[in-house]
Amino acid sequence: MYGYGYSDGLYFALLAAMLLSFYASWKVKHTYKKYGDMRSARGITGAQAARIILSRNGLSGIPINQIQGTLSDNYDPRNNTLNLSSDVINGTSPVAIGIACHEVGHAIQNAENYLPAKIRSSVVPVAQIGTNIAFPLIIAGLLLSRLSAGLYQLVYLGIICFGLSTLFHLVTLPLEFNASSRAIKNIEEANILEGEEIGPAKKVLTAAALTYVAALAVSVLQLLRFIAIYGGGNRRR
């Protein structure tokens, strides 16, 4: 049998990380809903706030597109576009403005050739492939090793592929924190939000950051469990 006893602690840690992930997701939605109807004093929409900050950073040529969904907002470095959901692009709440300006933060990172952004762009293709084939490789290795011990190497390959997705989460974390920091800094400098209005914007971005922390924790702990359980190969069977 595999070393399950050794991985029991990792199992419970993984469970805790998954609970944190659920909480973080709930916190983002709760904060967004709580302050979503709050109108900022200046009445600036998310799209207008994004355009102000883009212009202040010499990026006035970046288009702002409206997309479907809730909290689906993103910056796409492939075509250099800002994609905002209808609630954010038209919303005048501090949370809508905070989210819009966070995505502008990613556009600024891209324009400045921010190192973590460049690293993530290079990691994305291999991480996507690794995520898609990691579990099939591990399962195939476990099943086929009964026919030939050498085929257990597929399990190791699967673990390596899963590690690529963990790497993606790792390089994403500083990128998201930095984008939020840029957003709040620019909002304050441009006086887009006044007084206590900045609080809800910070809260929704902090909650969003927690989702990335949780995702990294889940990925790291799952990777460690794979190594603990299957890393010994045939010696532990």
Q: Which residues are catalytic?
A: 103
Question: What is the spatial distance between Cα 126 and Cα 168, in angstroms, rounded to a whole number?
Answer: 9
Phi-psi label, residue 30: left if phi above 0, alpha if psi -120 to 50, beta otherwise = alpha
Helix (H, G, I), strand (E, B) or coil at 65: strand
Tokens 């900050």 — which residue?
53
Count the neighbouring beta carbons within 10 Å of the beta carbon of residue 155: 22
The DSSP call for residue 73 is -
Question: What is the spatial distance between Cα 220 and Cα 169, in angstroms, rounded to a whole number?
Answer: 9
The DSSP call for residue 148 is -
CB 230 within 8 A of CB 159: yes
> What residues does 85 pair with on adjacent strands?
67
Count the neighbouring beta carbons within 10 Å of the beta carbon of residue 194: 12
Helix (H, G, I), strand (E, B) or coil at 75: strand
Question: What is the spatial distance between Cα 56 and Cα 107, in angstroms, rounded to a whole number?
Answer: 12
The strand order across the sheet containing 81-85 reads 64-67, 81-85, 74-76
